[in-house]
């Protein structure tokens, strides 16, 4: 029996990073197969809060986040679908003078790196952006030209656009092992063999399965960030809002519903693909939301959910070539803030696959930083 498929590149994982890498590889004329153990966007990519945020990123992420933002602004030209992308301010609220001081230091740091997108807001400027914010909030930090999108719709759009360029998707197909034979990578799956010259590992919380088999284990932790959504409220908030001293991510969608997240975690089980909510934790999310926006005291929660996401111990992703195997490239472990990076990192991965190098400053994300210390 011949292989299931033969391509220039096999992408492992059908989340936004896998779909974006596949699309960008196809745009460079490579033939691509994507293998996904569930369905496209089943986990973090389909169910995240949808924030398209540069604000508050780890300094190492700022350049690639800024690059990805440029792609988001012309997302419809890239994937033939607007992905529900809306330009909006991202605001981090300071609930005390001490928090505002922290934000001021942060703004100075970002300016020092040569980026101007994060601006400090005083009391009045904060209220210009967030008229409904609680009285105790003293200011904030904003990135005015960020936004949000609809996660499943966006990932599905990347898949469809990739398909129109000939990318083949093998869903409900699980990679069991990979091995190199001459210049050909062979991926054994539960539905047959995939053969390719290069492999891109975008397997999210499951990214270590590929890395470990190459002898470069990476400590990915499966986490399940939880979210809540309310019944529609009258329009009161146009920006995407976070807090400084406690977890919060908050936004009102165009239909009036409010999505509240911010990183409080449920229970993730990557073996069974399941995640459970913990309402003893979510009540804190509800409290924070009502304290930052008093109008939320009248809201009703319609649904809560969580998705499985891969987190690295240093909260920044693994991006770049394998340090052990030739023609394998990693992009996983985005630590609950990878959605915005999807378009940009996919483009960087395609550049790596096609040319072997990239100008993007990805050195801090090398998998080599997790060298075993035996």
Partner 1 sequence: MRCDLAVIGAGPAGLAAATRAAEAGLAVELFDEQPAPGGQIYRAVESVPAARRALLGPDYAAGAELAAAFRASGAGYRPGALVWNVDSTLDIDFSQGGRSRQCRARALVVATGALERPTPLPGWTLPGVTTAGALQILLKAHGCVPSEGAILAGSGPLLLLLADQLTRAGAPPRAVVETVPRGRLLEAARHLPAALGAPGYLAKGLRMIRALRRAGVPLHRHATDLVIEGREQAEALSFTAGGRRHRIESGLVALHQGVVPNQQVTRLLRCAHRWSDSQRCFLPVLDPWFESSVEKVFVAGDGAGIGGAASAALRGRLAALGVLRRFGALDGAALEQEAGGLRRRLVRDGAVRPLLEALYAPSAQVLAPADETLVCRCEEVTAGQIRQAVRLGCPGPNQAKSFLRCGMGPCQGRMCGLAVTEIIAAERGEVPQTVDYYRIRPPLKPLPLIELASFEAAEDQPGDAPPDAPPDDRDAA
Nearer to partner 1, 115 or 305 (CB): 305
Beta-carbon count within 10 A of 19 CB: 33
Nearer to partner 1, 303 or 324 (CB): 303
Q: Is 305 in the site for partner 1 (CB under 8 A)?
A: yes
136 is an interface residue for partner 1 by CB under 8 A: no
Phi, psi angles (nearest 5°) of residue 21: -60, -40
d(CA 312, CA 334): 7
For partner 1, give the closer residue by CB, 198 or 241. 241
Q: Residue 166, interface with partner 1 (CB under 8 A)?
A: no
- Which token pair is 259? 């999505």
Q: Could you say whether residue 156 binds partner 1 (CB under 8 A)? A: yes
Q: Report the distance separating Cα 290 and Cα 79, nearest Å.
A: 37
Q: Which residues contact 232 (CB under 8 A, 6 or more apart)?
A: 255, 256, 257
Can you tell me which of 35, 69, 110, 289 binds partner 1, judged by CB under 8 A?
Answer: 289
Q: Which stretch binds partner 1 (CB under 8 A): 38-46, 49-57, 101-109, 110-118?
A: 38-46
As measured in angstroms, the least distance from the Cβ of 339 to partner 1 is: 14
Three-state DSSP at 183 gives: coil
Which residues lie below 8 Å from residue 63, measured CB to CB, with a gap of 6+? 360, 361
Interaction between residue 171 and partner 1 (CB under 8 A): yes
Query: In whole angstroms, how close is the CB of 226 to partner 1 at the nearest point?
Result: 10
For residue 251, count other CB atoms closer than 10 A to its CB: 23
- Pairing state of beta strands 168-170 and 32-35? parallel
Q: Binding residue for partner 1 (CB under 8 A) from 39, 87, 164, 177?
A: 39
Token code pair at residue 335: 């630590």
153 binds partner 1 (CB under 8 A): yes
Q: Footprint of partner 1 on this chain (CB under 8 A)?
A: 39, 41, 46-47, 151-153, 156, 159-160, 163, 171, 228-231, 274, 276-277, 279-280, 282-283, 286-287, 289-290, 296-305
């Amino acid at each position: 029996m011949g292989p299931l498929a033969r391509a220039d590149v096999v992408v492992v994982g059908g989340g936004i990073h896998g779909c974006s890498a596949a699309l960008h590889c196809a745009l460079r004329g490579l033939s691509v197969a994507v293998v996904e153990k569930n369905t496209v966007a089943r986990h973090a990519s389909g169910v995240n809060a949808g924030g398209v945020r540069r604000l508050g990123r780890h300094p190492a992420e700022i350049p690639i986040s800024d690059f990805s933002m440029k792609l988001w602004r012309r997302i419809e030209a890239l994937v033939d679908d607007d992905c529900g992308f809306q330009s909006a301010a991202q605001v981090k609220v300071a609930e005390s003078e001490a928090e505002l001081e922290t934000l001021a230091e942060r703004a100075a740091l970002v300016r020092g790196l040569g980026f101007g997108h994060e601006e400090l807001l005083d009391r009045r400027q904060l209220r210009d952006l967030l008229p409904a914010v609680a009285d105790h909030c003293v200011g904030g930090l904003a990135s005015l030209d960020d936004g949000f999108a609809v996660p499943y719709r966006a990932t599905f759009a990347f898949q469809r656009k990739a398909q129109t360029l000939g990318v083949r998707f093998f869903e409900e197909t699980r990679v069991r092992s990979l091995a190199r034979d001459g210049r050909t990578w062979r991926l054994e799956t539960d539905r047959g063999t995939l053969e390719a010259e290069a492999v891109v590992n975008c397997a999210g919380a499951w990214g270590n399965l590929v890395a470990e088999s190459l002898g470069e284990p990476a400590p990915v932790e499966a986490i399940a960030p939880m979210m809540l959504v309310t019944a529609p409220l009258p329009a009161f908030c146009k920006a995407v809002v976070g807090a400084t001293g406690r977890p919060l991510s908050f936004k009102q969608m165009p239909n009036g519903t409010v999505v509240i997240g911010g990183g409080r975690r449920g229970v993730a089980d990557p073996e069974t693909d399941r995640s459970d909510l913990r309402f003893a934790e979510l009540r804190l999310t509800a409290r924070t939301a009502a304290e930052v926006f008093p109008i939320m005291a009248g809201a009703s929660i319609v649904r809560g959910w969580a998705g499985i996401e891969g987190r690295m111990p240093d909260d920044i992703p693994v991006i770049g070539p394998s340090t052990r195997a030739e023609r394998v490239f990693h992009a996983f472990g985005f630590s609950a803030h990878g959605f915005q990076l999807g378009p940009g990192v996919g483009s960087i991965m395609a550049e790596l696959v096609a040319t072997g190098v990239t100008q993007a400053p990805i050195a801090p994300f090398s998998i080599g930083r997790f060298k075993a210390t035996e």
